[in-house]
Structure 1
Amino acid sequence: MEHLLFLGHRIPYPPNKGDKIRSYHLLKHLAERYHVHLGTFVDDPDDWQHVERVKAYCGETHFADLNPRTAKVRSLGALAGNRALSIDYYRDTTLQAWVDQVTRRHDIRRVLVFSSAMAQYAMHLRDVRRVIDFVDIDSDKWRQYAENKRWPMSWLYGREARQLLHYEQHVAREFDASLFVSQPEADLFKRLAPAVREKVGFFSNGVDTDYFAPAHQFDNPYTQDHDVMTFTGAMDYWPNIDAAQWFANEIFPSIRQAHPAAHFYIVGARPTAAVTALAEMPGVHVTGTVPDVRPYLAHAKLTVAPLRIARGIQNKVLEAMAMAKPVVVSAQALEGIDALPGRELLLAEDAQAFAAKTIGQLKTPDGNIGFHAREKVVALYGWTSNLSRVDALLDPAPAASPKPLAALP
């Protein structure tokens, strides 16, 4: 087996948490084909318990402790230079030294970078095949943040959007291939970086449809007479915070008025004070961290994804669909997901439509939507077929006339 270096901004485990889902399956897939040497950060003390599980997939490893508060302070140094804050946030001299040592020790010729900020550790490597999985266009998320915040944060986020886009474009020029989470995400980056469009492609997120399956039996975490809708995700992530607040404040009251048995459960780790405060509203519940999200999906009447700021594919939507749950989504949450509104999920363009479609599903459930949702996920969102695109890009012997990434299977 050949050697490969994998660099990620967060430990790729457990395989059912946020962006770790994608990185975990990518690591597992690569470990079947290469001796993988992993360099990554651990930014949550709870994640140290997973180190040994991750090591089982790897050769040499380096886990760098990252304190978010310290990293934020350190990143402010970028304001004095022409750099994105995100790059300084993830800068670590010990990780860089490990990268240099392990690439020499194993004569590594393939590098897979997960997320834009980690590209800094491989920019100086030459005579190697470098592929980056940007996942999302992070710079565009900062642009959206800037549009939704007041000064001075709007200025700071706007600066980060510009600086990070410049860096993303530079990385895409230097690397052999750049990947994103969906066709729309890849197409947008091609417009932002037209000079590298032939090197830009995508592979979709997948779902473990055996793990997220309606056939499993779970104890009901809800009170028996509650008609529950859930919203899942990390609740210290601003797009999720904004979505939870918008739904609780602007949509849920009219739902509860029309259907008094309705209850809204916000299920996810690290809820901020703003999210926790929502539980003071009638019918709104905030769980915090739960050991397994599946019981909360299995016993809900439906799930909602009222995101107003989003990039890429929302795992929370795919997981709920895999559990055969009706999902009401915003246009932003639907982006990148191949699902037919009205058949495989419900699309709501505004608060009024969100309330109407949720009330309709609570009063007159349409079981066919959940059935068709799971069918679609099983058909299109398996990890093995999606990850085959990565295999083709890491091949060290490209064809004489390589196809553009969009033409790959």
Structure 2
Amino acid sequence: MNILFLTPQRPYPTFQGTTIRNFNLIAELAKRHTIHLLTFLEPDQPANHGDLSDLCTTIETLPVPRRTTATRLRQMLTTRRPDMSWRLWSPEFAVRLETFLGAHPVDVVHIEGIEMAPYLPTVRKIAPDAKIIYDDHNAEWLLQWRNFTTDVKNPRRWIAAAYSLVQTVRLRRYERWVCRAADGVVAVSDADRTAIRALDSSLEITVVPNGVNLARYDSAAGDPIPFDMVFTGKMDYRPNIDAMLWFGQEVLPRILARRPESTLAIVGQRPHPRLDALRGNRAITITGFVEAVEPYIAGGAVYVAPFRVGGGTRLKLLQAMAMRKA
């Protein structure tokens, strides 16, 4: 079959959970099918497609669209769609998708995540015979609800809590629509399938669990970079920010009281300004983007994942376990 993947970022390098999942899906399906990829390229991603060039017949990229604060506020105030559904909306991407579908026979279109769901109507219009598979990486409505229940406990986070409550309502409606509109829905775990079916009990959902290439992590390249504790992830992602702020401010001081020489590495691209509150702690290193996370995981005595909010499954934990970390 000819399969077109629509992904929110190019799944190479595999620097975070979404890219790891999408790369592995493409790698396995490429063994039996012809794969095409239409995706966004982050500013800090290299131009080289790496191993994807051997897996995909065609790869087309567009720059990630930039939204001003004014545009974002206008979209939230004048439409009923969730904020996430606007983040990667690009008229240029829609045109490129129309052009591709008009020029190439496609049997299946794989839509990866809710940020790419706005392009579903374009697929229906241009390629009505193509089957649409929606891969729901998180039960997004539940993720926002968990954000709300966490932030509402802190008066300084009440504005964020109000945002999450509104987004929970919108996501429930939008996620239900996407799942009903697709020909097939994929979830990453049984728990996510249950959460998605809470939107519509008639939905048929297939679970395709996350996984990692054990051979890659068993022989990870690079000299280990030693830290006592290590955390990896995209550091502008709200659950990751919350996890590190809570751990750094509430847990780490207790560890340092008993073991003052302890160190923590927070490894990942685009650290959010909220994490600046941790920079004054000499025990904490915030790396920003790194070429590879494996040396940090290999050098860590303990891998920490102190999540209070989130959804899906944590590929970072699979990475750490593949490298035999506690």
User: Given that residues 218 and 298 in structure 1 are in contact (C-alpha distance below 8 angstroms), is that contact kept between their aligned partners in structure 2?
Assistant: no
Q: Contact 1:267–1:287 (CA<8 Å) still a contact in 2?
A: yes
Matching of residues 58-97 of structure 1 within 5 Å: 58-70=56-68, 73-74=71-72, 76-97=74-95
1:94-133 aligned at under 5 Å gives the runs: 94-123=92-121, 125=124, 126-133=128-135
**1:204 partner SS:** coil
- Which residue is 1:238 aligned to? 238
**Could you say which residue in structure 1 is the equivalent of 2:253?**
253
One-letter amino acid of the counterpart of residue 213, structure 2? D
> What code does the residue aligned with 1:278 have?
L
Displacement of 1:285 after TM fit? 2.2
Contact residue 71 and residue 89 of structure 1 kept, 8 A: no
Alpha-carbon spacing, 1:217–1:6, altered in 2? closer, same or farther (3 Å): closer
Hey, what does 1:6 align to over in structure 2?
A: 5
Aligned with 2:178: secondary structure? helix
Q: Tell me which residue corresponds to 2:225.
A: 221
Tell me if the contact between 1:79 and 1:85 (Cα under 8 Å) persists in the aligned partners.
no
CA distance in 2, matches of 1:176, 1:144: 29
CA 1:151 to 1:280, structure 2 compared with 1: closer, same or farther past 3 Å? closer
- The 5 A counterparts of 1:8-407 are 8-42=7-41, 44-51=42-49, 54-70=52-68, 73-74=71-72, 76-123=74-121, 125=124, 126-147=128-149, 148=151, 150-196=157-203, 199-213=204-218, 218-222=222-226, 228-326=228-326
Give the match's secondary structure for 2:254.
Answer: helix
Give identity over the alignment, percent: 29
What amino acid is aligned across from residue 192 of structure 1 in structure 2? L
**Any gaps of 5 or more consecutive residues in structure 1?**
327-409
Deviation at 1:138, TM superposition (A): 1.7
Seen in structure 2, the aligned counterparts of structure 1 residues 103 and 153 have a Cα distance that, compared at 3 Å, is same
Q: Which moved more, 1:66-75 or 1:252-261?
A: 66-75
Deviation (angstroms), 1:296: 1.6
Change (3 A) 1:88 1:248: closer
Deviations 1:274-305 (A, max 9, x none): 32441322422222222222222222221111
Q: Which amino acid aligns with 2:74?
A: L
Secondary structure of 2:303's match?
strand
CA–CA distance in structure 1, aligned partners of residues 11 and 47 of structure 2: 12
Runs (4 or more) in structure 1 with deviation over 6 Å come to: none
User: TM-score normalized by structure 2?
Assistant: 0.88
Cα gap change, 1:170 to 1:72, in 2 (>3 Å): farther
* Residue pair 2:142, 2:195 contacting (<8 A) in 1 also: no
Q: How many residues align?
A: 317
Query: Cα distance 1:64–1:72, how it changes in 2: closer, same or farther (>3 A)?
Result: farther
**Aligned CA distance change for structure 1 residues 67 and 176 (closer, same or farther; 3 Å):** closer
Residue 234 to residue 302, structure 1, CA distance change in 2 (3 Å): same
Tell me which structure has the larger Cα radius of gyration.
Answer: 1
Residue pair 2:143, 2:311 contacting (<8 A) in 1 also: yes
Question: Which 10-residue stretch deviates more, 252-261 or 240-249?
Answer: 252-261
Does the 8 Å CA contact 1:232/1:266 hold for their aligned counterparts?
yes
Alignment TM-score, normalising by the size of structure 1: 0.71
Change over 3 Å in CA distance of 1:20–1:75 after alignment to 2: farther
Change (3 A) 1:220 1:36: closer
Higher relative contact order (CA 8 A, sep 6+): 2
- State the 1:55 CA deviation: 4.5
Q: What displacement does 1:250 show?
A: 0.9
* Whole-Å separation in 1 of the counterparts to 2:283 and 2:159: 35
Residue type at the aligned position of 1:206? G
Q: Which moved more, 1:84-93 or 1:54-63?
A: 54-63
Q: Distance in 1 between matches of 2:59 and 2:264?
A: 42
C-alpha separation in 1, matches of 2:159 and 2:21: 34
Question: Structure 2 vs 1, CA of residues 99 and 75 (structure 1 numbering), >3 Å: closer, same or farther?
Answer: farther
Q: Spell out, residue by residue over 1:155-197, the C-alpha distance to the aligned partner (whole angstroms, 9 max, x if none).
A: 332222211221111111121211111111111211222121x
Instruction: Tell me how far 1:23 sits from its aligned partner.
Output: 0.9
**1:74, distance to aligned residue in structure 2 (A):** 4.8
Q: Distance in 2 between matches of 1:273 and 1:136?
A: 25
Match of 1:339?
Answer: none
**One-letter amino acid matched to 1:182:** S
Partners of 1:183 and 1:201 within 8 A in 2: no
Q: Is the 8 A contact 2:67 2:87 kept in 1?
A: no
